Every structure is written in structure tokens, then in C-alpha cells.
Structure 1
Amino acid sequence: MTTSTSRGRRRAPTRMRRVAGKAAALQKPRVILALVFLLGLTSVMLLDGYLRAEVGGDQRVRTGASSAKVPDKILNGGPIVTFQGGRATTISVPKKTIALTFDDGPNPTYTPDVLKILEENDVPATFFLVGSMVSRYPDIVKDMVAQGNEVGIHTFTHVDLSYQSDARVNREMQQTQLALAGAAGITTTLFRAPYSSETDAIDNYSWPVYKKLGADGYTSVFVDTDSDDWKKPGVSKIINWATPKKNKGAAVLMHDAGGDREQTVEALPQYIKKMKAKGYTFTTISGVIEKQNASNRQAANAGSGTAGSGTAGSAAAGSAAAGSASGQSSTGTAPTGSAPTGTAPGSAATNGSTGAQSSGGPGGQSQNGTQQNGTQGSQGSGGSQGSTASRLQAAHRTATGATLYEGKALIVAVAVAEYALPVLAVGLMVVGIAVMGRFGMMVILARSHYRQRNKRRFSWGPTITRPVSVIVPAYNEKECIANTLESLAKSTHPIEIIVVDDGSTDGTSEIARNAADSLGMTNVRVIRQENAGKPAALNNGVRSASYDIVIMMDGDTVFEPDAVHQLVQPFADPQVGAVAGNAKVGNRNTIIGAWQHIEYVMGFNLDRRMYDLLRCMPTIPGAIGAFRRDAVLQVGGMSEDTLAEDTDITIAMHRAGWRVVYQEHAKAWTEAPGSLKQLWSQRYRWSYGTMQALWKHRKSLTDKGPSGRFGRIGMPLVVIFQIVTPVFAPLIDVFTVYSMIFVDFTAALLAWLAVLAVQLLCAAYAFRLDREKYRYLLMMPLQQLAYRQMMYLVLIHSSITALTGGRLRWQKLKRTGEVGTPAGVS
């Protein structure tokens, strides 16, 4: 045994510290960016899901409950329920008046048609909008309001509020107000509950909800004439069912969304024409309230003997009396509640109210209740200076401040989700096809490779028996180096062993010498060099090698006795320049080890067999690989340009015209990372190094011959299967969660289990090829839920590092030396 000191290339310690410091400083922000990427992706899909369907699919609707706690005057009253001073009052629609209302919109197909018909016939309407739809189609709502129509709240997700908590009720209202603020710059005081009908349907469960919303300043609107257009009974029936009896006034219900509304659109112009011919006028809910207010003012003034006098003093007296009679203060203080601050949601003034409008004007400004000289009372319901459009939209309040900006932010976020989801869906389809296509390709080609290589007549050529050189680069491998040399001592093939100590500080070289002496190994040389990195250590070993074939292995790896012999046999083919062996996880008895074991078995028995048949092997593993010495020197040796020197030199061999093959029978056992932190560090380096190598050899895409073959076959496969698909693979998991929450839990779960079953079948086939025990496959479901997510993050982290131009140094993992001789591994 001899010892020599090399003149390996030195790297200035100060420069190394600078590079390491920079890498450490950049690594944490990039991890955060990777997490932010996934969080953003998840948020977009959750937002879209929330807009399209309620969490858990809550479609419960109360039926048949008692109404004993609901006042009779409400059950038997008109369709408009207001709350003033804690007292509930109903308002009926005047004779020969239609308050046309539409529920469930806006809808991009039907609502614009409805608006066009209303405009052509000079008819206003009140639209009770679903907040999620408002946020998706804000332009329709903006046009709706600009046209002079009135809007009310129909909750954000069309859920029956009688089942919900107060917090949920508040959230439904607030989110819809924000959506209206962002879409049209307004908020509203009108509310209609989903699944509601006439007031006599109010029960003990829903009544507290209406009382709470009334206390918050909302006016609840019901119907007294239902067109039942949602049943699609036919145009004539819709018209007949929407026509009040005996010239009565009515709040008529139709739908502009929530299903196929072609019949409604067809019936609407005919209905308007019919009702106008019968002498009916059309108004909004606020228009009905304004008519009631005017009637109440006349009655109040007549009762005080000052009707129409036009004096401020008498009007004020009448106002005070009316306010007292209704239990309502005439100070004009805006109520507070679940609506956004500054919007002052409240109902229009009702019976006996001639002075203050409790809800304030449309801009959120309360009217002071002072009657203007020469006018008949104040414009209490809207403060609109008598404008017809303003009176018809008196329930609207101008959104200001935080409400307006939060609303616009909501609209922007929803727009992003709306545009992003189709793109993500296409991405999911592409990723799904790529993943399933990869599984199919791997299994088919792996089977073909197995049948080809395991035929009795298959041979690489004359048996290789001449000695070869084994190079063992080592940096602080005191725990493992003795086991490595012990395994090489049992080699059935003649070898020389060159241990290159890359500046270890733990006595690795001394341990190697002592182990060689104790084993009686005279074929071991230990070379010490100053720390220069793994590529430099390997190059030093190649230069010092005595034979034309060199085996490269890691200092923590142990070879099976026939591994070297099996590994060198392909060199009987003069076109073969490098051979990849079969690396196996030795420390597989932990959860992390078992996960990596599954990954290694699938990678070496499916992926590498596929790449071998396609003649585009991307990587010779650092744990076990063999090269022609001349070929290594021809391509310039092991390069320090990337962190994946094994991938770098493999691609270089392809480009130089050498064939790279896989020898599945040459097995080595390696110690895999034992902690998540170490695993992240290793895979981060591998992923980033692979990207560096691909970028370095990008010109192979346009080369001719073997180099071009790798560039146009191998490189796209690596990019698609090892970078692009894994980067976007989280789409599968995110869409699965999305579907479980918002679509169909059972179907989504079955789809996920089907994909898992395909993966299990592929893994089982790989285990069969490698004659491994199937019991480790029991860990595969958990691997998919936990381990795979970490690999996603690592790859995204590496991609961000590559895109931002960061650099990393080779990293040393902590070893335990628990992988001994192969016979000790079960």
C-alpha cells in the first residue's frame, strides 16, 4: 500500500466561504418562494371553488317547520318586510303596479338579454344577485345599475341562511357587498333569501335571520306572484302565472340565472306588453317603498291639518308625530351591522315616516329630516332631489373607502382565478397524459429490456477478466470508508483501489490505511489532496489509475462481491464508453429510507431500462458507474461546471459518440439520507445540478449524430419527465383536493386511488424485476401523500434557483455507517 500527495487544483478558501455564504443567504428565500408558489396555486383554486360551489356542498333547505313564533301581521302581510326601531312592518305593492324581480344572476348568457328587453320596453327591475356570480361577471352588474335597475343581495353562495351561524350570515352579506362595491361602486340595503317565497312561508328557523338582518339595516323582500319559470313550463304558463289577479299589485319573481332560462327570456317581452295593455306600471322595490312613503306622508299631513302647507315648522311637527307613531327616531342616524362601514345599509322609511331616512342617502349620507319649503315632505327614501332613477335605486349606497378598494381587490382576484383555472386545467390534462404515458412507456420498454438482456444467448462479447481501477473519492467518510473497503476486498474481479481523500478533517485517510492493513489488502492506494471538491478528487483518481477501465463509487457505498465483474462486462462492446450500475438503498428500515427504496427500485428498474433501450441514458450514478479511462480524458474529465458531475459527464460521453448502457446485475448498496433536512439538501443539489447540465449541453439539440440523438430524444425526455412534469405534478394533488371539497368527494377519491393503483402496479413490476420484497410497497400510499410533496417543493426550489442564477457548492451529508456488507441488508 502506497501513499502519495497530489497537486490537485486548489480552490481559495476565502472564495469557497463567499460562495457558501451566498448560497446559504439565498436558499431560505427560495424555499419561501417555492411555498408561496404552491400556496398561490392552491388559493386560486380554492377561490374559484368557493365561487362555484359551497364548501361541503350545503344544499339543505328547511321545509315544513312551525311558524308559531312569527307575527301574524308578517305572515299575512305584503312581500316587503322592513324593520324600524325594532318593529317589523310589511309593505304591499299598490294596485296595478308590478315590481319585477329576478333571482340568481348575473348570468353571462341570459342576464344581458333580460337587460336588453327591459331597456327596450323602458321597464326597471330589481335583481337579487348571488355574490359569487357578481364577482365573476362584474361588467354585467355595472351595466345593470347604469341602466337604472336596482340590485339586492341573494347571499354570496346561494345557501339557506336558516342553517347557518351568525358569523356565516354576516360573511355571506359582507362578501356580496364587497362584490357589488367592486363591480358597480355601490352597496345595497335589499335582501332576498335563497329558496324563499311568500311571507307565509317564514318559519321559526328563518325568522331570527330576517330579524337579525333587519337590525343590521336590511329590507327583506319576498314575492306574492311567482312565475315558476324555473320549472320551464312553457312561455304561456310563465306569463299566466306571473299575472296578478283582479288588478292587484305584485312583486313578481322570475329568474335570469340558475339554469336554462330561454323560456323566461322569450316570455318577458310578451309579459311586459300584456301588463302594460292592462294598465299596469312597472317599478322597483324602492319604487314601491317610495310610493308607500308618499302615501304615509299625505296621511300624516292630513291628520295634522297641515297637508300641503309647505311650511317647515308644520312639516317638522308632522314628521315628529309620524316618527313617534312608528317608533322611529327622526334624527337620521345610520344603523350599524354586517354591511361594510360607510355604506349605511338600511331600509327605506316606512309607515308614518316623513322625516329622517334611517339608512341615509345613496351616498351613505343621512338625510336630516327637514322638509324643504314648497315640497311635500322630504325625499326620505333616497335623498335624490326627485330624480326618477335615484328614487328607483334608493336602496343603493355609494361604496367608499376600504369597502370600495376591498371590493375591487376581490374582483381582480376572482378575475385571476377565472382566467387561471382553465390554464391550470389544461396543465393538469397535459401533466396527467405525461404521467400516465411515462408509466406506460417505462413498463413496456422495461419489459422489452428485461427480455432482451435475460435471454440465454445474450452476451456483451468476450468475458472481461483484466484488472480495473476502482476510484473512491472521500471527504470526511470515517463512518463508512472501512465498510466500503471491506466490500471491495471481497470482489471476484481483480482490481486496484484508489482512495482519494479530498482534504478530510476526520482522519478518513488513516482509517482507510488501517482498514486496508487489517484486511491484508495490498492493492489499495490512499491519495491525499487539499479540499478541491468531488470532481477534482475523481479526476485525480483517473490520472492515477493504472488500468483502462475505471470504476467510480462513493465513499459511503458497498459493492456486492460480483458487482465489479458484472459492471465491466459491457465493455466487451467497443462502442460502450460508460456503464451505469444498480444502486440500492441500504438503510431502508425507516420511513424515509423505505420511501427512497421504492424510488430507487423504480428508477433503476424502469427509468434506466427505458433510457438504455432508447440509447439516451442521462445519468451514471455516482454510487456505481464504470468508464473507459480514455473516454473520460477525451471529454475533459469530471467537470466542476455543475453540481451533478455524474450527469454532466454522462451527457458528454453521449456527445462524444460513446454508448452508455445499464447493467442491472451490478449492484451496490448506498446509505441514503436519514433525515428530511439531509434529503432536501441532497435532492436540491441533484435537481439543480441536472438543470445546469442540461443547460450546459443545450447545443446537442441541433447537433448531428449521437450528440443530436441525445439532444432530441434524451434531453426532452429528461426535461419532460424529470423537470416539467414534477414541477406541475402538484396540480394533480391540488385538483384532487379541489374536487373532493367542491365537486364530488367520492369520484375524486376513486380517481386518486386509480392513479395510485397504476403506480403500485408499476412499482410492483419494478420490484419483481429486481427481485425485491413487496412489503415495502405498503409505504407507497403514504409516500404519495408526504414524500412526493417534498420532492415537488425541492424541484420548484431548484427551478427558482436556476431562474434567478444562484450558485451552490457541493454539500456533504452526515453519514452513520449503518450500511455494512450487502449480506447484512434484508
Structure 2
Amino acid sequence: MKGRHKQSRDPRGHWLLLILVLPAMFAALLFEGWTNHEVDEAKTRSPCTSPAPDAVADGNGPVIGINRSGIQTGSMPARTVALTFDGGPDPVWTPRLLDLLRRNRAHATFFLIGSRAARYPELVRRIRAEGHEIGSNTYTGAVLGEASSLRFSTELDLTQTALAGAADVHTTLLRMPRTTSADTLCGREWQAAQQATARGYVLVTADKASRKPAQGLIRQFSQTATAYRATQKLLRNPGVDRFTTVSDGLDLTPYTPVSTVARWEGTALVWGSVLGRGFSTAMTWVLGIAGGLGVLRLALLVLFARAHVRRLERFRPGAPWLREVTEPVTVLVPAYNEEAGIESTLRSLLDSTHPELQIIVIDDGSTDRTAEIAVGIGDPRVEVIRTPNAGKAAALNTGLARTRHGIVVMVDADTVFEPDAVHRLVQPLAHPAVGAVSGNTKVGNRRGLLAKWQHLEYCFGFNLDRRMFEVLECMTTVPGAIGAFRRDALLGLGGISDDTLAEDTDLTMALWRAGWRVLYEESAVAWTEVPTSLRQLWRQRYRWCYGTLQAMWKHRGAMFGVGTAGRFGRRGLTYLALFQVVLPLLAPVIDVYALYGVLFLDPLQSAAVWFAFLGTQLVCAGYALRLDGERRRTLWSMPLQIFVYRQLMYLVVIQSVVALLLGTRLKWQRMRRSGTAAEQIGGPDPYKSLPTR
């Protein structure tokens, strides 16, 4: 069907926005994970296979450089102590250490982790402003001797970039992680040390514990409570004349000039770290919300489905103790280019067990043989109306004006009815408060993985939802494929509105607001044809989602209504907002968290969380299939949904929300039919005649 909704903006702009924003978000998140969690075992140091060179192990001190003259070492002058602190900046202990040093008029050298410097740039600036010295402790604290050549360069270069962005400095001082005194530079660590000095670094280790302050020493501390107390004690040592920095004590040049480009790169790195940290924190919160909403939805579906099965058969309208509805029924079949399936639809309706039917086919300006095939049925119960193309809502209103009976059934032209479907569908209308009834739509063409996923969705999602909606009295949609209505209720609303792309959802919500009840008759079964390609599926679901959002906004006033309208608004609209808008927007976080956890956290714990959620879904889906009388062997395909189908549905919701917020108007997206709705019934289509010339 075509409609009157046109595109006023190019929807490719939405994709451009997603293409630009989402990769940036995920890149920042992955970078945050790499810099703050383990990627490999580069923080574990292997045993030394060869000792440090004698010139280092037995040299004059813990400060090491290599130039044309070979290995050069140095140590602090007598009664001079260089306090050095590794691993910061720390938001708790770095400020306390700085306060302690200021009170004692002492200076120190802070060997900073680059990732933490990017995270806390204000502390880096304070260290620099208070006269202390800054050195590199690599970007993530990785053991350089165990790192690949690429990571080795990355650890050093990113640290310099972070320091340039945080405090406008490039340092020449390096303390290699997991090293203490000079003799620990052995084996692979010595090879890494040689590479570092070739880059212009001066290596700073620490004096052995046996060396006394009176001899002059470099003391190594971390930035912890224990280090704070040890520093406090050392600062009171009467054998020390001066507490100073490494470069001041040895007359070294600690910094090199920072270029403008390096400064810009550093600023970008600092902001990237801020964004990554923000995304990581937000992801944790979103994971909790998404997981909670997902589990809550599953619990609600199962709880109310059981209530629907166990209790409502006695009390709802249409129960056996109510009168049987045998009044004549008018069936409206709007059709636009439906030659592939119109014959099967009409013949299945003509085989209906209901006593009397008036079938009106409204050909909405078709350019194929739809009208000819409908006329060729040759049954007096079938009337064909040809109109210029004006959209599905207009076609339905045209048919509504020609109805002769008080009960109207609306049918899509690609739907095949079970013989008793119409009769069962109209039975709940025996109760005068019921204005509409939703039937049970099932997937007819289930061949192929994509079709099987949609079959699961129809049973587990749509039909289980409808059971719950009936219990809560807030049915949100009577599907266009199979739905029964009171003619008076439709005329009281002024017919079917074309304000949205989801005219069935719009109509259902309008009925609630007018005071009518809407029910679900699961025994009224119709078989529909679903998309068989991702492109067709995308177009269909985009229209559904966008139209539902339009209908929700149009009927938002029901949230503040009273009686039937208020119950629908506060229950139905809230459910749609939480579980069909917010949850799909947040749900990708569960998959992202699983990947994030496998890469950077505990893989087993992350996998356990993910599989627990999947297992819960499988159990609920199995229950839904049993309620619908379907075989549960289809469940094998459900875990595969996460790789394609679920991601597609998430993106549909995201694009629909973006399109609605940007005010884009969409045209009707029609699916190309193949006439396979009756495929699941078995064998050749029993309602389709041989082709005619």
C-alpha cells in the first residue's frame, strides 16, 4: 500500500549521524577498556634469563643513560634524597602527598601512568605548578620487556602525548614498571631499556634499601597510604639536608620542547579519555537498567500469559456461557499491487465457516492484475471497488462506507485465514463493551533463517504481548492482518485516520480513548507472509516502529485520562515506552558489555551473564511456542539472532527515534509479495488456482 506520507528529509542523514557518532563512541569505549584493563599478560614479568650488565648492576647509581661513551650511571649527592612516586596520579593520595611535600618544603619526581594522567589532568598540572618533576611510567603500566614492538612504542608515545595535553611537557625521564634497583634491569627488561635509551630516555631506578640517606639516595614509593606514612617518616630524617627532584640532584634536563601539534594531540587524548570514561560509567548504569527491564519484561510476559490461560477463559467476553455471534460480517481487504497473494486470501475467506460474509476488495490504484484476479473469483460475496491510489487508510474508509453489516473484519491482502478464523474472531464481540478483537497472526512462509526468526518473534513477542495486554486491558494494536471491529465504533471515530504510518495501532488506541475494550482471540488464526530479505524486513519494521511512535505521541493524552482510556494510557503507553522504545535503545549495551567483558574484564563472568540472559529468553520463548501450539525445535535458531536480527531491530528503533526527533515524514514502505502466506499449511497453496493466460 502507498500512503500520503512523503519524505521531507533524506533519511540517509540519519545514517550519516549514526555512522559518525556510534563509531566514535565505541572507539572511545574500547580505548578506555584497553588503557584501564588487561588486554594481554604484559603486566606479568618473566624470570630473568641473563643478569644486568656489570656497568648497570655495579655502577655508580640508579640513574642510567647510554650515549656514545657507553653506559653512564649516576647517584644523588651525599645527604640529598630524591623522592620518587610511581603509578599516579591518584585522586586520593596524590593530593595528600603534594600537601605533605608542601608543608615540608620538599620536591619530588612523579613517574606517572599516561592513562591516569589523561584521566586526571588537573593533578598533573598541580604537580607541575608546585615545582615537582614529571617522568614517564608508561601508559598502562605494562612491563616493557614483555611488550611487542608496537605496544612498546605505543606505551611510551601515548604517555608523552598525555603529558603534553595535561601539562604541556615532554619528559626525558622513564621508570620502567616492575623494576626497583638497577640490577632488576635484567634479561628482556635490559633489552627494553636499551631501546628506551635509544629514544633519548634516561632510566631512573632506585637505590637498594641498604643505602643510607647520608650517602644520598633515590627512594621509590607508590601512591598509597603506606607510601604516605613512609614519606612522612623519611621527611623527618635529620640525616638529610635536601629533598629534591632527580634532575635537580643530577643536573639533568628533564623536559624537551612540546610542539603545537603534540599539544593538540595531547588535548584530544585527554578529551578522548574523558569521553571513554564517561561511556564506560554510563555503560555500567545502562547495563543495569537494560538488564532489569529485560528481565522484568520476560517476567511480566510469562506471569500474565499464565493468568490469561488459567483464568480469563471463564470471565472474558466470548466465553462459552455468552451467546454465539452469528451475525453477518463484512470483510474489508485493501490491496495495492497484491496479485501474488490476493487470490489465496479471498478463497480462504470464502471457505470460512461463518454463516454470512460480505467481502469488499478495495483496489487502491494497483498497477498489476490485483483487481482482475479479485473479479475473476466469480463469487457474488466478493465486491471489488477500484479507486485512485490514496493510501491504506483511505481505502479502508472507502470500504467502510459500503459495508452492510454491523461487524467489520479488516484483512491484509497477503493473509490466508483458517476456515474457522472469522467465526472465532468475532465471538468476543458478544459483549457490548468490546469494540475490537485482535486475531492470532502466524508466519506462513517459514523457510530460511530470517523467516524462522520472525516466526519466533510473532509467537514470543507479539502474541505473548497480546495475552498480557488483554489481562491488563491495554491492547495496543489490532493487527491489520486480522482484526474484528464494531462498525458503530469505527464510525464513531470518524473512520480510520491517516495521521500515522501505523493506522492499525492508531485506530486501536483511539478505540480505547473512546471507551471501548479491545481483546485478543488466540484461536482465530491467520497466516501471513513475512519479508524474506533484510532490506524488505528493514523497510517493514522501520514503518511499523516509526508509525507506533507517531501513534504514541498522538495519543499521549490517554496517560491523564480516566476509566478505560486512562488504564490503557498508563499501562499500554508506559509499556510501549519502556519495552519497545527505551529497552531496544539500551539493549545493545548487553551485547557490547559481553564483548567488553571478554576483552577487558573477566571473560567467564561476562559470558555467564550473557548466557544466563539468553537462557531465560529461551525458556520464555519455549513457553510461548507451547501456548501457540507450535513446535519448540525452532528454538535452535534463537541464539543466532544476536548476530543479525536483534542488531537490525535495535537499529530500526534508533533510526525511527532519530527520524521522529528530526521531524522527518516517511512514505509508505510496501513489501514485495510472493504469495507464500499459506506455505505452512502444507503442500501446494490450496487456495491458489493455476495461472491463466
**TM-score, L = length of structure 1:** 0.80
Matched to 1:470, the amino acid is V
Map of 2:338 onto structure 1: 477
Distance of 1:626 and 1:646 partners within structure 2: 11
Distance of 2:305 and 2:19 partners within structure 1: 35
Distance of 2:644 and 2:630 partners within structure 1: 23
Give the direction of change, closer, same or farther, for the CA distance of 1:707–1:182 in structure 2 (3 Å limit): same
Give the direction of change, closer, same or farther, for the CA distance of 1:220–1:823 in structure 2 (3 Å limit): same
Map of 1:71 onto structure 2: 53
Map of 2:689 onto structure 1: none
Map of 2:161 onto structure 1: 178
Map of 1:498 onto structure 2: 360
Given the alignment, which residue of 163, 174, 187 partners 2:170? 187
Deviation per CA, 1:135-163: give whole Å up to 9, x if none: 11111111001111111111111111112
Residues 107 and 245 in structure 2, CA contact (< 8 A), matched pair in contact too: yes
Distance of 2:192 and 2:287 partners within structure 1: 42
Matched to 2:142, the amino acid is V
Map of 1:537 onto structure 2: 395
Distance of 1:791 and 1:539 partners within structure 2: 32
1:250 aligned to 2:111? Answer: no
Give the direction of change, closer, same or farther, for the CA distance of 1:547–1:582 in structure 2 (3 Å limit): same
CA positional deviation for 1:263: 2.3
Map of 2:256 onto structure 1: 397
CA positional deviation for 1:783: 0.7
Q: What SS does the corresponding residue of 2:82 show, helix, strand or coil?
A: strand
Distance of 2:321 and 2:530 partners within structure 1: 32
Map of 2:687 onto structure 1: none
Matched to 1:180, the amino acid is L
Give the direction of change, closer, same or farther, for the CA distance of 1:50–1:797 in structure 2 (3 Å limit): same
Deviation per CA, 1:19-45: give whole Å up to 9, x if none: 64x45x521121232344443442342
Given the alignment, which residue of 189, 208, 214 partners 2:197? 214
Deviates more, 1:751-760 or 1:463-472: 463-472
Map of 2:14 onto structure 1: 30
Matched to 2:76, the amino acid is V
Matches within 5 A, 1:375-414: 394-414=253-273
Matches within 5 A, 1:648-659: 648-659=506-517
1:436 aligned to 2:301? Answer: no
Q: Give the aligned length.
A: 679
Map of 1:107 onto structure 2: 90
CA positional deviation for 1:460: 6.7
1:270 aligned to 2:233? Answer: yes
Q: What SS does the corresponding residue of 2:43 show, helix, strand or coil?
A: coil
Q: What SS does the corresponding residue of 1:500 show, helix, strand or coil?
A: strand
Map of 1:808 onto structure 2: 666
CA positional deviation for 1:59: 3.0
Matches within 5 A, 1:141-540: 141-225=124-208, 244-245=211-212, 247-256=214-223, 261-274=224-237, 277-290=238-251, 348=252, 394-454=253-313, 458-459=319-320, 461-493=322-354, 494-514=356-376, 516-517=377-378, 521-540=379-398
Matched to 1:42, the amino acid is F
Deviation per CA, 1:316-375: give whole Å up to 9, x if none: xxxxxxxxxxxxxxxxxxxxxxxxxxxxxxxx4xxxxxxxxxxxxxxxxxxxxxxxxxxx
Residues 86 and 215 in structure 1, CA contact (< 8 A), matched pair in contact too: no
CA positional deviation for 1:822: 5.5
Matches within 5 A, 1:674-823: 674-820=532-678, 823=681
Distance of 1:603 and 1:89 partners within structure 2: 73
Matches within 5 A, 1:624-663: 624-663=482-521
CA positional deviation for 1:543: 1.2
Map of 1:59 onto structure 2: 43
CA positional deviation for 1:86: 7.3
Distance of 1:188 and 1:823 partners within structure 2: 76
Map of 1:360 onto structure 2: none
Matched to 2:628, the amino acid is D
Bigger relative contact order (CA 8 A; separation at least 6): 2
CA positional deviation for 1:422: 2.9
Unaligned regions of 5+ residues in structure 2, if any?
685-693
Q: What SS does the corresponding residue of 2:10 show, helix, strand or coil?
A: helix
Deviation per CA, 1:467-523: give whole Å up to 9, x if none: 201111111011111111121122111312111110000111001222x13xxx321
Q: What SS does the corresponding residue of 2:215 show, helix, strand or coil?
A: coil
Matched to 1:263, the amino acid is T
Given the alignment, which residue of 424, 429, 434 partners 1:566? 424
Distance of 1:187 and 1:604 partners within structure 2: 61
Distance of 2:552 and 2:194 partners within structure 1: 67
Deviation per CA, 1:282-325: give whole Å up to 9, x if none: 221112321xxxxxxxxxxxxxxxxxxxxxxxxxxxxxxxxxxx
Distance of 2:315 and 2:496 partners within structure 1: 36
1:98 aligned to 2:87? Answer: no
Residues 213 and 239 in structure 2, CA contact (< 8 A), matched pair in contact too: no
Give the direction of change, closer, same or farther, for the CA distance of 1:537–1:441 in structure 2 (3 Å limit): same
Residues 605 and 769 in structure 1, CA contact (< 8 A), matched pair in contact too: no
Distance of 1:34 and 1:632 partners within structure 2: 40
Matched to 1:807, the amino acid is R
Distance of 2:240 and 2:610 partners within structure 1: 62
Matched to 2:221, the amino acid is M
Matched to 2:15, the amino acid is V
Q: What SS does the corresponding residue of 1:253 show, helix, strand or coil?
A: strand
Deviates more, 1:409-418 or 1:211-220: 409-418
Residues 567 and 579 in structure 1, CA contact (< 8 A), matched pair in contact too: yes
Residues 80 and 213 in structure 2, CA contact (< 8 A), matched pair in contact too: no
Percentage of pairs with the same residue:
44
Distance of 1:86 and 1:45 partners within structure 2: 46
Residues 32 and 277 in structure 2, CA contact (< 8 A), matched pair in contact too: yes
Distance of 1:265 and 1:82 partners within structure 2: 30
Residues 34 and 800 in structure 1, CA contact (< 8 A), matched pair in contact too: no
Give the direction of change, closer, same or farther, for the CA distance of 1:453–1:183 in structure 2 (3 Å limit): same
Q: What SS does the corresponding residue of 1:247 show, helix, strand or coil?
A: helix
Give the direction of change, closer, same or farther, for the CA distance of 1:500–1:821 in structure 2 (3 Å limit): farther
Residues 460 and 573 in structure 1, CA contact (< 8 A), matched pair in contact too: no
Larger radius of gyration: 1
Unaligned regions of 5+ residues in structure 1, if any?
1-9, 226-240, 291-347, 349-393
Give the direction of change, closer, same or farther, for the CA distance of 1:156–1:123 in structure 2 (3 Å limit): same
Deviation per CA, 1:257-294: give whole Å up to 9, x if none: xxxx22221232221111xx11442221112321xxxx
Deviation per CA, 1:710-750: give whole Å up to 9, x if none: 22221111111111111111122222221121110110001
Deviates more, 1:427-436 or 1:135-144: 427-436
Given the alignment, which residue of 27, 45, 48 partners 2:32? 48
Residues 358 and 381 in structure 2, CA contact (< 8 A), matched pair in contact too: yes
Residues 644 and 685 in structure 1, CA contact (< 8 A), matched pair in contact too: yes
1:591 aligned to 2:552? Answer: no
Given the alignment, which residue of 408, 422, 430 partners 1:550? 408
Give the direction of change, closer, same or farther, for the CA distance of 1:796–1:36 in structure 2 (3 Å limit): farther
**TM-score, L = length of structure 2:** 0.95
RMSD: 2.0
Distance of 2:69 and 2:634 partners within structure 1: 68
Q: What SS does the corresponding residue of 1:173 show, helix, strand or coil?
A: helix
Given the alignment, which residue of 106, 115, 121 partners 1:138? 121
